[in-house]
Structure 1
Amino acid sequence: MSWNTYSIDDRKLTVITGLAIVLIIVSLYIQSKLVLFLSIFILTVLSCNQFYLKRVGKQLFFENIAEKHRYFVNDKGQWTITIRNEGYPILNAKLKIYFDQCVIPEGKTLEPNLSLNEISLRFSIFARQTKQIIVPFSANRRGIAQIHKLEFRIPSLLGFGETVLESKWYLNQLAVVYPEPIPVKGLKEQLSVHQGIYSAPSSYYEDRLGPTGTRNYISSDSFNRIHWKASARKQELQTMIYEKISEKGWMIALNISDGHSITGNLEKLLSSITEMAYFAYKNQIPFSLCINVRTAGSTPFLYLPKGEGKEHLQTVLETIASISSQNISLPYEQMLSFYSKHLEYQPIFIHAGIRRDDTNRLLLNLSNKGGKLFNLKIEEDHGLLSELDIHHERRALLC
């Protein structure tokens, strides 16, 4: 592990060094061997002190192992940091650990810090020794916690000055704290019955890519459903039978913006989407997720393709956990435009967050393609999912 290293000198050291040099001059003038010996001894000790400060920590290492652990709120966990010293011994140093505030250390006193949790430990390690530092914590709130920095403050042998070591990079141990769901009213009533690829015992829609069989023609059958080859074989008209199918696909689109800032309902919106993700998992409903957080790549925002099952749910929860007020947002209308042109279309589109007139126009275009629109909004301590009728909203505003 590489460190940023710098030394902090004590002003007393400069004064003592200057005094020792003056004593050497005085000892030569008065021809005193005792004073000369004492002054040289002081300079030697001070030189050893400075040599120690420059060399200590040069061979201090720890294993930056990549680990990811997942927690629910109030779960217990810990970070394990293994330190190995191949250089000079370190005595009575102060170790500071900085990490995200979605976890809280247990049994440690927190230092005041606006953006990160900070704890201090006393640390000593001898040459060619390995030590483990255990940092127990409790999951506090949704988010991804990581140790941002280790800082060693190593005092000199005489107590004059110190050497400071700061880790150059974040530690690779991650603690993912899943979001907590909140109730969403209206969710159970919004199952889709639109056309799609999933088999259904009864549906208005059929898979026209290939018939599953034939039956005798009846007068109410459409003429274009006649299977001419089968009819020729059996010498009577045969009607093609297609598999009944339905679609359960959802697209959940979250707008985290409110003008030029992040919406104040971010946490409740994310908790509502968490509840919807659990509901979709239990009812085997495939869904995709779009969030207008700017990312690099061919898709310029957070996008999870349609999926279902436990792995998809875990990916969704981790994605939601990663959202923070520090994220840079993409204009929501730009995300909707990209979705309509490039991404897989879903028959049910669920909007969450702030809507403007430009947003409504784009949502109306999605509705005109045959999709069904729903709106997720926050009411006190729960979410409310309702069908979105933009035409009705406009008429109400005009009245």
Structure 2
Amino acid sequence: MWLEARSSERHILFLEILTFISGLLFFISSQFLVASVFIIILVFIRLYLHYNRNAGSDLLLAEEQTVERLTVDDESEWVVVFKNGKYPLRNVSLTLGYTDHAVFLNHDAERAGNTIQWNGHVSMEQYEEVEIRIPFKAVRRGKMKMVTCQLYVPHLFGFGYKILQYKGHFHQEKRIYPEVESVDFSPTVANHKPGEEPAVYSLYEDLTLPAGTREYRTGDTMQRISWSAYARTGQLQTNLYEPVIEEKYMLILNVTYKHGKNILFEKLIKQAAFIMTEAHRKNQPIGLCVNVRTKASPNFYFIAPNKGVNHTRQCLEMLSILSVGDATLPVNVMLNQVAVMRVPVTDFIIVGESGSAERLHALKSRVWTVNGGGTVEWKQSNAQ
């Protein structure tokens, strides 16, 4: 798991050979006291080489496979645990590199490209477990991960060194959700289709969700009479059920403008994140399409309409990893594929450039376009 680089040993090996020959000559000439001094030096050299070659070879980087979810400006800690082996490590210089989605608290960071580096010192005795906690503050969306771990190990005898570079996989990550920018989206016309979503008023009811009873009125069918309520009150009572409608949204995020990325790239992501969080707050099913190319089918980012905590997390995490370097798909091509897929939604919400009128009309549902801080319903007559 560790790539090792050691200080040169050639001069030490040369000194070992010279010491051995000198000690042997003194021993042959019966100068045992001087020969014993050379033997001690030879033992010291062997210990030096043994430590230099084996120190840190059994060091373990114990990293929890955990995922923490944060928002911008949240504070947290990155925990790194080292489990040492049978060779003590003293005054080790530790350098940890992270993606630049955060800043360290109470500690200066060195920037190297798109990474930030944390530097510190640590010592570990035999079989000791050392835990390092690095407080940080999230500053931008994305996945914060450790990308490098390097230890500069000075020799225990005071000269020479060894560099250990971790070559394993880093599993721990912090997922930082995008910031949100308010968008006013309040459909003015209810969609009167049978479905599963609660509504204030609807022509349809869910017969599995009783909502109480009321007094019997002329015209109520026998199937709706609550006989248990009649037995209890002595008056005919009619069962009431929760009104429901079909209400499913699909958020279409167009990150392009003509043949390049939209200069309002981050603003569009913030607006999309707001719509997602509002749909979750209102318990409304919503899906997500982004015209970024993928190798899967369909060949763009697509999450089917759903609701719940896990679904919202999945959508926000998709928004958090979007980059200006992503390969994109023309929005009209994506709209055409969505129309062919016949995604069962009642409303499409388009963030970014809306595409051609022909493609929007083919969606066969209401279409809303985000304009500034609000939404406008797209109509075929307005596009002509």
Which stretch has the larger CA shift, 324-333 or 17-26? Answer: 17-26
Structure 2 residue 39 is the aligned partner of structure 1 residue 49: no
Name the CA distance, whole Å, in 1 between partners of 2:135 and 2:42: 45
Name the CA distance, whole Å, in 1 between partners of 2:258 and 2:37: 72
* Secondary structure of the corresponding residue to residue 72 of structure 2: coil
Matched residue type, 2:163? T
Question: Paired residue for 1:219?
Answer: none
* Secondary structure of the corresponding residue to residue 290 of structure 2: strand
* Secondary structure of the corresponding residue to residue 195 of structure 1: coil
Name the CA distance, whole Å, in 2 between partners of 1:100 and 1:195: 48
Deviation at 1:258, TM superposition (A): 4.4
CA pair 21-279 structure 1, distance change in 2 beyond 3 A: closer
Contact 1:58-1:87 within 8 A present in 2 as well: no
Deviation at 1:67, TM superposition (A): 1.4
Contact 1:149-1:168 within 8 A present in 2 as well: no
Contact 2:148-2:166 within 8 A present in 1 as well: yes
Deviation at 1:139, TM superposition (A): 1.8
Name the CA distance, whole Å, in 2 between partners of 1:353 and 1:295: 20
Name the CA distance, whole Å, in 2 between partners of 1:17 and 1:199: 81
Question: Paired residue for 2:77?
Answer: 78
Deviation at 1:388, TM superposition (A): 2.8
Name the CA distance, whole Å, in 1 between partners of 2:24 and 2:185: 97
For residues 329-344 of structure 1, the aligned pairs below 5 Å read 329-342=328-341, 344=343
Contact 1:156-1:163 within 8 A present in 2 as well: no
Question: Paired residue for 1:132?
Answer: 131
Q: TM-score, normalised by structure 2?
A: 0.76
Question: Paired residue for 2:361?
Answer: 364
Structure 1 gap segments, 5+ residues each: 208-214, 217-226, 228-242
Contact 2:150-2:163 within 8 A present in 1 as well: no
Which stretch has the larger CA shift, 28-37 or 297-306? Answer: 28-37
Structure 2 residue 270 is the aligned partner of structure 1 residue 271: yes
Question: Paired residue for 1:386?
Answer: 376
Contact 2:284-2:307 within 8 A present in 1 as well: yes
Question: Paired residue for 1:14?
Answer: 10
Name the CA distance, whole Å, in 2 between partners of 1:392 and 1:343: 24
Q: TM-score, normalised by structure 1?
A: 0.74
Structure 2 residue 3 is the aligned partner of structure 1 residue 5: yes
Contact 1:7-1:53 within 8 A present in 2 as well: no
CA pair 19-150 structure 1, distance change in 2 beyond 3 A: closer
Contact 1:24-1:36 within 8 A present in 2 as well: no
Counterpart among 363, 376, 379 of residue 370 in structure 2 = 376
Contact 1:8-1:163 within 8 A present in 2 as well: yes
Question: Paired residue for 1:87?
Answer: 86
Name the CA distance, whole Å, in 2 between partners of 1:192 and 1:265: 30
* Secondary structure of the corresponding residue to residue 170 of structure 1: coil
CA pair 312-340 structure 1, distance change in 2 beyond 3 A: same
Q: Deviations over 1:298-354 (max 9, x none)?
A: 444332222234444344333322333454444444432332223523121111224
Name the CA distance, whole Å, in 2 between partners of 1:18 and 1:386: 82
Contact 1:53-1:163 within 8 A present in 2 as well: no
In percent, how many aligned pairs have the same letter? 22
* Secondary structure of the corresponding residue to residue 273 of structure 1: helix
Q: CA RMSD in A?
A: 3.9
Q: Deviations over 1:347-393 (max 9, x none)?
A: 21111224555xx4322311xx2x1222225x5xxx44222346634
* Secondary structure of the corresponding residue to residue 194 of structure 1: coil
Deviation at 1:38, TM superposition (A): 6.8
Deviation at 1:122, TM superposition (A): 0.7
Q: How many residue pairs align between the two structures?
A: 353
Name the CA distance, whole Å, in 2 between partners of 1:72 and 1:16: 54
Q: Deviations over 1:148-181 (max 9, x none)?
A: 2322222233422413231411133x22222221
Name the CA distance, whole Å, in 2 between partners of 1:124 and 1:85: 10
Name the CA distance, whole Å, in 1 between partners of 2:374 and 2:67: 34
Question: Paired residue for 1:240?
Answer: none
Question: Paired residue for 1:168?
Answer: 168
Question: Paired residue for 2:96?
Answer: 97
Which stretch has the larger CA shift, 272-281 or 82-91? Answer: 272-281
For residues 314-325 of structure 1, the aligned pairs below 5 Å read 314-325=313-324
Counterpart among 181, 187, 191 of residue 190 in structure 1 = 187
Deviation at 1:269, TM superposition (A): 0.9
